[in-house]
Amino acid sequence: MPIDYSKWDKIELSDDSDIEVHPNVDKRSFIRWKQRDIHEKRMQRNNEIKGLTIQKEMYTRLNARVDKMVATLGDSIADEKKRNEFLNTNFDPKEKCTLEENADNIPYNEMVEDLFVQISDDLKKEDKDSNDPKLVLAKLLEHRAKIESVLKQIDPKLEELKKEKELHISSEDIHDGWNSSIINKTPSSSAPPSADSGSSKKTKSTATTIETINSPEVAKLAQVPSKPLDQLDELELLPETKEFASIPATDLLKSIKFLESHLYIVCEQQKDALMMSTFDAQLSGDTKTAKQTVHQALILQYLNDLFNAAGGPKATIQQKQQAVGLFVTKLMDKSSPAARTFEADLEKTYKHIVSRCEVIKQEQEQNAEQEGVEQIQLRSMDPNSELVVNLPTEGTPEYETFKQIPENMRKALETKELDAINKVFATMSISEAENVLELFDKCGVIQIQALLENEDEFNHLKEEYEELGDDEAAEVGEQPSSTADIVD
């Protein structure tokens, strides 16, 4: 069986192995230099790994405190006393970084307190009120975004250093595998272990190590949309973009976190699709949703411009995430130029959408009139008769039914003009108009009036009526007094 020597390829030599050097170079000096160089690089690599690991733990703990304070304290975040009480109540005041060997390192709560001191100093230097909760919150989120940006870069750098370390085998990695074993003593279930260690059964256990390839950090950086962007229709919205649009305009911190893990929705196509969806909300009368959607669409527009300025497709995920954090935190400082520009653009864009929707509604109404919409209109089917309004008397059952008719239609009936009544019918759907007609019939508000040309015709009609028997007369009297026609 051939021997595989490839496992020795990664050995990092640090002894006086057979090294070929130039005749003019002292071999021993070269070997010592080589040993020192390897040792220094190894120490530097290990120190970098340790430093990044410490930094990751510290920043993660700090951001956890900041996030809870932002979500809970509200305006009290500018009150030092309430802030410190909250910190010491919700977090261990003595908690420190466990990876540092220095016993004098300060607790995390004190680090947060120092951060607020720095924020206060920064605001004073800018001639701003250091006790203004909004300004303090904006500065705090700006610092948090910077910390988050550093955190995003730590994992890739650690992975790179660890891979580099794995390429070299040093004495630290060499272990004697033949002089140690893992022994599990399995005592009998029915009797206690024997005092004689030689009589106890020894079984060799096997250990299984599960290596997680797709860690949450790696998955977060994957940035995979639910549907490939190149397969979307021109104005098709991703479910992720719809979710982003529903985030309240006041919750900018939530917008930051969402965009950091869904950077792919920051593109021209999704911005246009989201902006167009505002027209549907405005046309349906949901003005609150319309303005909210415009706000989120403008964030995508501004960020897309920033990404393009930062290199477009060449911009890294870390660069984009940093841009998201810095831009949105600028919006939280209402006095900043970026926030003022954004608010002005928001108002201008929304007003434009409102005016366009008004024009669209007018055009739809005109088209409906030109093309013909099915509606109910009252008119007499007999040219020798006409429809008249007969308002019921107050206190009668008919009047109680009359009060059930919609107010705009009652006002039209009170004019006793058929044109006014038909105008109201024109604004109703078929089902609404049919319900109103039923009420008309119940209260007898619309009746048919015959038009007679002369007195002879009236007398002739009267004679015919009198010739009828009582039953027939009653039957005639029960005939409906109104009629309606559906016209296009």
Q: In this predicted model, what pLDDT tens digit does every residue of 293-311 receive, in sequence order?
A: 999 999 999 998 888 877 7
Backbone angles phi and psi of 56, in degrees to 5:
-65, -45
Residue whose structure tokens are 């002089």: 179
Three-class secondary structure of residue 184 per DSSP:
strand
Q: Which amino acid is at 197?
A: S
Given a contact cutoff of 8 angstroms between Cβ atoms, the answer to whether 375 and 436 are in contact is no
- Cα torsion 254, 319, 145, 304: sign: negative
Residue 185, SS3 per DSSP:
strand
Q: What is the dihedral of CA 400, 404, 408, 409, to 10 degrees?
A: -80
Judge residue 299's burial from the number of C-beta atoms within 10 Å of its C-beta, 0-12 exposed, 13-18 middle, 19 or more buried.
buried
Structural domain boundaries in the chain: 27-170, 218-371, 375-487
Q: What are phi and psi of 254, to 5 degrees?
A: -65, -35
Determine how many CB atoms are found less than 10 A away from the CB of residue 303: 21
pLDDT of residue 476: 41
Three-state SS at 267: coil
How much of the chain is in helix, strand and coil states, percent to nearest 5?
A: 60, 5, 35
pLDDT digits (tens, 9 = 90+) for 27-83: 566 566 666 666 677 777 777 888 888 888 888 888 888 888 888 888 888 888 888
What tens-digit pLDDT sequence spans the chain (488 residues)? 444 445 444 444 444 444 555 555 555 665 666 666 666 777 777 778 888 888 888 888 888 888 888 888 888 888 888 888 888 888 888 888 877 666 667 888 888 888 888 888 888 888 888 888 888 888 888 888 888 888 888 888 888 887 777 665 454 544 444 444 444 444 444 444 444 444 444 444 444 333 333 334 433 444 789 999 889 888 899 999 999 999 999 898 899 889 988 999 999 999 999 999 999 889 888 999 999 999 999 999 999 888 887 777 777 888 888 888 888 888 888 888 888 899 999 999 999 999 988 888 887 777 666 555 567 888 766 566 678 899 999 889 999 999 999 989 999 999 988 888 988 888 888 888 889 999 998 998 988 765 555 556 556 655 665 665 544 444 444 344 344 444 44
CB 273 within 8 A of CB 306: no
Q: Which residues contact 267 (CB under 8 A, 6 or more apart)?
A: 229, 300, 304
Q: Where are the beta strands (DSSP E) in 361-457?
A: 375-377, 385-389, 446-450
With the C-alpha atoms ordered 442, 446, 447, 448, is the resulting torsion angle positive or negative? negative
Return the CATH architecture of domain 218-371: Up-down Bundle (1.20)
- Coil, strand or helix: which one is 287? helix
CA distances from 378 to 68, 390, 419 (A): 66, 15, 9
Tokens of 179: 């002089």
Cβ atoms of 86 and 69 closer than 8 Å: yes
Cβ atoms of residues 255 and 243 within 8 Å: no
Tokens of 93: 């005041």
Query: CB of 404 within 8 A of CB of 398?
Result: no
Rounded distance between C-alpha atoms, residue 417 and residue 387, angstroms: 10
pTM of model > 0.85: no
Nearby residues of 124 by Cβ (< 8 Å), 6 or more positions away:
130
Per-residue confidence (pLDDT) for residue 359, from 0 to 100:
86
Q: Which phi and psi (to 5°) does residue 248 adopt?
A: -55, 145
